[in-house]
Structure 1
Amino acid sequence: MTKQFGWWFFTCGNQVLVIPQGERIPYGDIDDLPVPMLDFSAAERFASYKGEACLRLELPEVVDMGMGEWLELRTTMSLLNAALFNLVGKAQQFALFLQTHKFCGRCGNALVRVDWELAMQCDHCGFRAYPRISPSIIVLITDGNKVLLANHRRHQKQDMPIYTAIAGFVEAGETLEQTVHRETREETGLKVKNVQYWKSQPWAFPHSLMAAYFADYAEGEINIDRRELADAQWFDASVLPHLPPPGTIARDMINHWLSQQTE
């Protein structure tokens, strides 16, 4: 078992234990934390934060830990700083990987845990599996002081629909930039130019890596794919709809663009 002192990430599926004080993640020696009698043999170090170990323990069911409350990962976005939010996502993705890779996809035999890296290996045929990462893009398309924002069907709410940037998964054989052009064309009917990479964000829903781009409108009329979008419109910088919450890369992109409009 690994060292028992550090930041403790107790997870159960898409939920994590969050405490009301400090940085909201339990910290200290496990013997000093008011946790119930659990099997800590599966606890392992998976990262570090502020020079201390990050230890994760996936529980089979939610139990009263004697401190804090269990929250879904998306809910913690407004409670945790960006680094801890990403670490919670990392812990949950590791747990999901171990739960969903118990048998070899090549020959069907049981996989065993590799002890020097996070991987599962088949001793029968040698196949090795690593945590799944699904690359995706998100692009904010602008035309002067106007920005294209879309209401995705998964964000559709009658009282206050969320409008955000265009996003989609990378297909086999594509570059990220090709995905930007394809997703824009498929979802909105528009063509873009001056595609510029900005930054990325791990997004554990359940295992995406979002690459953010800015692009200028080139040509075309809005013609949305209604299987993906409920609406898409051009919005003036001074009159914007309900936006994604802080902490999302979509909101960061919009805020960055707005800051440039006022300079």
Structure 2
Amino acid sequence: MAPAPLNGSEELTPLQPYQPWTEQMQPLCYWDDEPVALLVEPQAGSGWIDGRQWMSELSTAWFSLLSTALQVGAWLENHRFCGRCGAPATKLSAEFAMHCHACGHRNYPRISPCIITLVTSGEAMLLARSPRFPPGRYSTLAGFIEPGESAEEAVHREVFEEVGVHIDQLRYHQSQAWPFPHSLMFGYFAEATTRRIRIDGVEISDAAWFSPRQLPSLPPPYSISRELIETHLARWREE
């Protein structure tokens, strides 16, 4: 899999022409009723673009396929050896699993549950920026669900930890697999009960309330963060 022109057009596809499958290839899924395999290049050339750039250059219709490929590729790279005894692990062909013949341990792709939340106050949206974001970009609040914690508890905790705001009226919207590196995002809306912002200064470098008529640079269209924002904006345009 690598970006390439689609049937001579300007549209890009991550799929390469058919070639015989080898032992190095990982069967991935079916796409348009055709089997797709992943080949991880251990030393890709400098001309290869990273996953986020793939997402920005390809149609959003490719997102689920790319998400699967990126997550499985990262898992294959990071689990070549058994995490229990350190012996080399063998990739199984019938499922996503790495098997250790030395101790019998079997490893499956890691999936880390996260919450991502658009906090609102009427029409206003609470958006924040990470120090890692491109200049001017703001997004919704997100974080990993901790051991023993429900998704709803994680929403309350993350929002308060990052911006010091209390919330209620949580509404689940939808989920999205997020391959950077292996997250499963649970998207929520929440209504603020307090508006004063107190950023943590570590994960969040700035946060502010934005009206639908005055928005900052937003996350890319393939992200669930953008989906939450656009859903809120559409609701207020209708009213």
| TM-score computed with the length of structure 2 as normaliser | 0.90
Write the letter of the residue equivalent to 1:221. Answer: R
| Residues 59-74 of structure 1 mapped to structure 2, 5 A cutoff | 59-62=41-44, 70-74=48-52
1:190 correspondence with 2:165:
yes
* Aligned mates of 1:232, 1:250 — CA distance in 2: 15
Contact 2:162 2:200 in 1 (8 A): yes
Unpaired runs of at least 5, structure 1: 1-8, 10-16, 32-38
The 3 A distance-change label for structure 1 pair 28 and 111 is closer
Contact 2:118 2:141 in 1 (8 A): yes
1:18 correspondence with 2:3:
yes
1:14 paired residue number: none
2:34 paired residue number: 52
The 3 A distance-change label for structure 1 pair 83 and 130 is farther
* Aligned mates of 2:207, 2:198 — CA distance in 1: 9
Q: Give 1:139 deviation, angstroms.
A: 0.1
1:208 paired residue number: 183
1:42 correspondence with 2:38:
no
Q: Give 1:27 deviation, angstroms.
A: 5.0
2:101 paired residue number: 123
Contact 1:187 1:224 in 2 (8 A): yes
Q: Give 1:51 deviation, angstroms.
A: 1.1
1:30 correspondence with 2:5:
no
* Aligned mates of 1:188, 1:42 — CA distance in 2: 46
The 3 A distance-change label for structure 1 pair 250 and 104 is same
1:219 correspondence with 2:194:
yes
1:97 paired residue number: 75
Residue-pair matches, total: 234
| Residues 78-157 of structure 1 mapped to structure 2, 5 A cutoff | 78-155=56-133, 157=135
| Helix, strand or coil at the partner of 1:46 | strand
User: Deviation digits for residues 144-196 of structure 1, max 9, x if unmatched?
Assistant: 11110101111152xxx111101111111111111100000100111110111
The 3 A distance-change label for structure 1 pair 86 and 190 is same
User: Deviation digits for residues 79-134 of structure 1, max 9, x if unmatched?
Assistant: 32334222123122222212211222222333222332111122333221111111
| Helix, strand or coil at the partner of 2:13 | coil
Q: Give 1:219 deviation, angstroms.
A: 2.4
| Helix, strand or coil at the partner of 1:131 | coil
Aligned residues with identical type, % of pairs: 39
The 3 A distance-change label for structure 1 pair 100 and 172 is same
Contact 1:76 1:85 in 2 (8 A): no
| Helix, strand or coil at the partner of 1:155 | coil
2:206 paired residue number: 231
1:245 correspondence with 2:220:
yes
* Aligned mates of 1:62, 1:28 — CA distance in 2: 19
Write the letter of the residue equivalent to 1:167. Answer: A
Write the letter of the residue equivalent to 2:163. Answer: T
Unpaired runs of at least 5, structure 2: none
Write the letter of the residue equivalent to 1:237. Answer: P
More strand by share: 1
Kindly report structure 1 stretches of 4+ aligned residues shifted beyond 6 Å.
Answer: none
Contact 1:24 1:79 in 2 (8 A): no
* Aligned mates of 1:134, 1:103 — CA distance in 2: 20
* Aligned mates of 2:23, 2:105 — CA distance in 1: 27
More deviation in 92-101 or 188-197?
92-101
